[in-house]
Amino acid sequence: MKWALLFSLLVLPAFGQIASAPDPNPFERAVTLMHTEPVNEYRSATAADRTRWFVESTVSPSRLFIVGPINSAWGTLRDVPSEYGTHWDGFGKRNGMRLTGVVTGNLIEAGLGAMWGEDPRYFRSPDHGFRSRMKYVLKTTFMAPDRSGRWRPAYARYMGNVGNNFLSNTWRADSEADTGDAVVVLGRVTSDAFAEFWPDVKRKVFKK
Protein backbone atom coordinates (compact mmCIF):
# COMPACT_ATOMS: atom_id res chain seq x y z
CA MET A 1 0.00 0.00 0.00
CA LYS A 2 1.12 3.57 -0.67
CA TRP A 3 0.66 4.48 3.00
CA ALA A 4 2.88 1.60 4.04
CA LEU A 5 5.63 2.99 1.81
CA LEU A 6 5.11 6.47 3.21
CA PHE A 7 5.22 5.03 6.72
CA SER A 8 8.53 3.30 6.05
CA LEU A 9 10.07 6.45 4.56
CA LEU A 10 8.98 8.81 7.30
CA VAL A 11 8.58 6.78 10.46
CA LEU A 12 11.59 4.48 10.44
CA PRO A 13 14.18 7.29 10.27
CA ALA A 14 12.53 8.86 13.32
CA PHE A 15 13.61 5.96 15.51
CA GLY A 16 17.25 6.52 14.78
CA GLN A 17 19.78 7.28 12.10
CA ILE A 18 23.28 6.11 11.20
CA ALA A 19 25.73 7.91 13.42
CA SER A 20 28.34 8.28 10.71
CA ALA A 21 25.99 9.99 8.27
CA PRO A 22 26.81 13.72 8.22
CA ASP A 23 23.74 14.78 6.24
CA PRO A 24 20.20 15.15 7.63
CA ASN A 25 18.13 12.00 7.32
CA PRO A 26 15.08 11.82 5.01
CA PHE A 27 12.86 12.78 7.93
CA GLU A 28 14.69 16.09 8.44
CA ARG A 29 14.79 16.82 4.73
CA ALA A 30 11.05 16.19 4.47
CA VAL A 31 10.39 18.61 7.34
CA THR A 32 12.59 21.22 5.65
CA LEU A 33 10.85 20.85 2.29
CA MET A 34 7.41 21.02 3.91
CA HIS A 35 8.41 23.83 6.28
CA THR A 36 5.52 25.54 8.02
CA GLU A 37 5.86 28.15 10.76
CA PRO A 38 5.07 26.93 14.30
CA VAL A 39 1.51 27.46 15.46
CA ASN A 40 1.16 30.96 16.84
CA GLU A 41 0.44 31.19 20.59
CA TYR A 42 0.19 27.42 20.75
CA ARG A 43 -1.42 25.68 23.72
CA SER A 44 -0.75 21.98 24.11
CA ALA A 45 -3.75 19.70 23.63
CA THR A 46 -5.46 18.42 26.77
CA ALA A 47 -7.45 15.21 27.12
CA ALA A 48 -10.62 17.28 26.71
CA ASP A 49 -9.23 18.83 23.51
CA ARG A 50 -8.49 15.40 22.06
CA THR A 51 -11.94 14.10 22.97
CA ARG A 52 -13.55 17.17 21.42
CA TRP A 53 -11.46 16.71 18.27
CA PHE A 54 -12.50 13.06 17.97
CA VAL A 55 -16.20 13.88 18.28
CA GLU A 56 -16.07 16.89 15.94
CA SER A 57 -13.92 15.08 13.35
CA THR A 58 -16.15 12.02 13.38
CA VAL A 59 -19.80 12.92 13.91
CA SER A 60 -20.09 16.71 13.85
CA PRO A 61 -22.81 18.09 11.53
CA SER A 62 -20.22 19.42 9.07
CA ARG A 63 -18.59 15.98 8.78
CA LEU A 64 -21.85 14.06 8.59
CA PHE A 65 -23.75 16.35 6.24
CA ILE A 66 -21.06 18.14 4.20
CA VAL A 67 -17.64 16.46 4.13
CA GLY A 68 -18.94 12.88 4.15
CA PRO A 69 -21.60 13.37 1.47
CA ILE A 70 -19.13 15.23 -0.78
CA ASN A 71 -16.65 12.34 -0.65
CA SER A 72 -19.40 9.75 -1.09
CA ALA A 73 -20.96 11.66 -3.99
CA TRP A 74 -17.57 11.82 -5.71
CA GLY A 75 -17.18 8.05 -5.34
CA THR A 76 -20.73 7.50 -6.63
CA LEU A 77 -20.12 9.77 -9.61
CA ARG A 78 -17.00 7.77 -10.53
CA ASP A 79 -18.65 4.46 -9.57
CA VAL A 80 -15.82 3.56 -7.16
CA PRO A 81 -16.07 0.88 -5.92
CA SER A 82 -18.11 -0.53 -8.80
CA GLU A 83 -19.84 -3.08 -6.55
CA TYR A 84 -21.93 -0.30 -5.01
CA GLY A 85 -23.28 1.16 -8.25
CA THR A 86 -24.24 4.75 -9.06
CA HIS A 87 -27.65 4.89 -7.38
CA TRP A 88 -28.73 6.21 -3.97
CA ASP A 89 -28.17 2.84 -2.34
CA GLY A 90 -24.57 2.91 -3.52
CA PHE A 91 -24.18 6.43 -2.18
CA GLY A 92 -25.42 5.25 1.21
CA LYS A 93 -23.03 2.30 1.28
CA ARG A 94 -20.07 4.52 0.42
CA ASN A 95 -21.02 6.99 3.12
CA GLY A 96 -21.37 4.18 5.66
CA MET A 97 -18.01 2.68 4.72
CA ARG A 98 -16.39 6.11 4.98
CA LEU A 99 -17.85 6.67 8.44
CA THR A 100 -16.65 3.33 9.83
CA GLY A 101 -13.17 4.05 8.48
CA VAL A 102 -13.16 7.56 9.95
CA VAL A 103 -14.15 6.26 13.38
CA THR A 104 -11.38 3.64 13.36
CA GLY A 105 -8.67 5.94 12.04
CA ASN A 106 -9.55 8.86 14.32
CA LEU A 107 -9.62 6.61 17.37
CA ILE A 108 -6.15 5.28 16.61
CA GLU A 109 -4.81 8.77 15.85
CA ALA A 110 -6.23 10.24 19.05
CA GLY A 111 -4.86 7.42 21.22
CA LEU A 112 -1.36 7.26 19.78
CA GLY A 113 -1.16 11.04 19.49
CA ALA A 114 -1.85 11.39 23.21
CA MET A 115 1.11 9.12 23.98
CA TRP A 116 3.47 10.76 21.47
CA GLY A 117 2.45 14.37 22.04
CA GLU A 118 1.01 14.77 18.55
CA ASP A 119 -1.82 17.27 18.28
CA PRO A 120 -4.62 16.13 15.91
CA ARG A 121 -6.36 19.51 15.81
CA TYR A 122 -6.40 21.63 12.67
CA PHE A 123 -4.97 25.14 12.99
CA ARG A 124 -5.92 27.63 10.30
CA SER A 125 -3.26 29.17 8.10
CA PRO A 126 -1.81 32.55 9.15
CA ASP A 127 -1.41 33.42 5.45
CA HIS A 128 -3.82 35.16 3.13
CA GLY A 129 -4.72 34.21 -0.40
CA PHE A 130 -6.39 31.09 -1.71
CA ARG A 131 -3.27 29.50 -3.24
CA SER A 132 -1.07 29.84 -0.16
CA ARG A 133 -3.83 28.58 2.09
CA MET A 134 -4.46 25.55 -0.11
CA LYS A 135 -0.72 24.77 -0.04
CA TYR A 136 -0.95 24.98 3.75
CA VAL A 137 -3.93 22.60 3.79
CA LEU A 138 -2.07 20.07 1.64
CA LYS A 139 1.11 20.24 3.74
CA THR A 140 -0.66 19.96 7.07
CA THR A 141 -2.61 16.95 5.83
CA PHE A 142 0.64 15.06 6.43
CA MET A 143 1.92 17.07 9.42
CA ALA A 144 0.80 17.84 12.97
CA PRO A 145 2.08 20.07 15.81
CA ASP A 146 4.17 18.51 18.56
CA ARG A 147 3.97 19.57 22.23
CA SER A 148 5.80 22.82 21.44
CA GLY A 149 3.58 23.72 18.47
CA ARG A 150 6.21 22.91 15.85
CA TRP A 151 5.08 20.94 12.81
CA ARG A 152 6.32 17.38 12.39
CA PRO A 153 5.25 14.39 10.25
CA ALA A 154 1.96 13.16 11.69
CA TYR A 155 3.04 9.68 12.81
CA ALA A 156 -0.13 8.91 14.78
CA ARG A 157 -2.19 9.92 11.74
CA TYR A 158 -0.14 7.63 9.49
CA MET A 159 -0.64 4.77 11.93
CA GLY A 160 -4.35 5.56 12.14
CA ASN A 161 -4.61 5.41 8.35
CA VAL A 162 -2.65 2.18 8.10
CA GLY A 163 -4.68 0.59 10.90
CA ASN A 164 -7.94 1.88 9.44
CA ASN A 165 -7.16 0.42 6.02
CA PHE A 166 -5.97 -2.88 7.44
CA LEU A 167 -9.10 -3.34 9.56
CA SER A 168 -11.62 -1.91 7.10
CA ASN A 169 -10.39 -4.14 4.30
CA THR A 170 -12.22 -6.94 6.09
CA TRP A 171 -15.57 -5.33 5.25
CA ARG A 172 -14.79 -3.21 2.17
CA ALA A 173 -15.79 -4.28 -1.32
CA ASP A 174 -13.00 -6.26 -2.98
CA SER A 175 -12.21 -3.60 -5.58
CA GLU A 176 -12.03 -0.93 -2.85
CA ALA A 177 -9.40 -2.69 -0.77
CA ASP A 178 -6.57 -1.07 -2.74
CA THR A 179 -8.08 2.43 -2.86
CA GLY A 180 -8.43 3.02 0.87
CA ASP A 181 -5.29 5.16 1.06
CA ALA A 182 -6.52 7.59 -1.57
CA VAL A 183 -9.94 7.76 0.08
CA VAL A 184 -8.37 8.59 3.45
CA VAL A 185 -6.14 11.32 1.99
CA LEU A 186 -9.03 12.82 0.02
CA GLY A 187 -11.18 12.80 3.14
CA ARG A 188 -8.50 14.52 5.21
CA VAL A 189 -7.84 17.19 2.58
CA THR A 190 -11.58 17.83 2.24
CA SER A 191 -12.14 18.16 5.99
CA ASP A 192 -9.07 20.39 6.48
CA ALA A 193 -10.05 22.61 3.54
CA PHE A 194 -13.52 22.91 5.05
CA ALA A 195 -12.02 23.92 8.41
CA GLU A 196 -9.77 26.45 6.68
CA PHE A 197 -12.32 28.20 4.46
CA TRP A 198 -15.76 27.62 6.00
CA PRO A 199 -15.39 30.32 8.73
CA ASP A 200 -14.75 32.90 6.00
CA VAL A 201 -17.67 31.68 3.90
CA LYS A 202 -19.98 31.67 6.93
CA ARG A 203 -18.94 35.17 7.90
CA LYS A 204 -19.53 36.58 4.41
CA VAL A 205 -22.73 34.69 3.62
CA PHE A 206 -24.44 34.61 7.01
CA LYS A 207 -22.77 37.72 8.47
CA LYS A 208 -21.54 35.72 11.49
For residues 152 and 14, the model is more confident at 152
> What is the pLDDT, as a whole number, of residue 119?
96
> What is the pLDDT, as a whole number, of residue 190?
82
Peptide bond into 81 cis (omega under 30): yes
Q: Sketch the domain layout of the chain as residue ranges.
A: 2-6+53-206
Which residues 6+ apart lie within 8 Å of 133 measured at CB?
A: 125, 127, 196, 197
Whole-number mean pLDDT of the chain?
A: 78
User: What residues form DSSP beta bridges with 143?
Assistant: 153
Are 2 and 181 in contact, with CB atoms under 8 Å apart?
yes
Q: Does the pTM of the predicted model rise above 0.75?
A: no
For the cut 90, the answer to whether the pLDDT of residue 184 exceeds it is: no
HSE of 94 in the Cβ direction (CA atoms, 13 Å)? 32
Percent of the chain past pLDDT 90, that is, above it, reads 29
82 confidence band (pLDDT: 50, 70, 90): confident
> What is the pLDDT, as a whole number, of residue 107?
92
> What is the pLDDT, as a whole number, of residue 97?
79
Q: Kindly report the backbone phi and psi dihedral angles of residue 153, in degrees, each rounded to the nearest multiple of 5, phi listed first.
A: -50, 135
Output the CA torsion 162→134→59→75 (10° steps). Answer: -70
Are 156 and 118 in contact, with CB atoms under 8 Å apart?
yes
Count CB neighbours of 13 within 10 A: 18
Tens-place pLDDT, residues 96-115: 877 887 888 899 999 999 99
> What is the pLDDT, as a whole number, of residue 194?
87
Residue count of the chain, please give it.
208
Mean pLDDT in residue range 2-10:
44
- Can you say whether the dihedral through the CA atoms of 73, 75, 77, 80 is positive or negative? negative
Tens-place pLDDT, residues 9-61: 444 444 333 333 445 555 555 555 566 688 989 999 999 999 999 999 888 88
For the cut 80, the answer to whether the pLDDT of residue 180 exceeds it is: no
Are 185 and 65 in contact, with CB atoms under 8 Å apart?
no
178 confidence band (pLDDT: 50, 70, 90): low
Report the b/e string of 168-190 with b at 16+ CB within 10 A: bbeebbeebeebbbebbbbbbbb
**Alpha carbon distance 153, 150 (integer Å):** 10
For residues 91 and 101, the model is more confident at 91
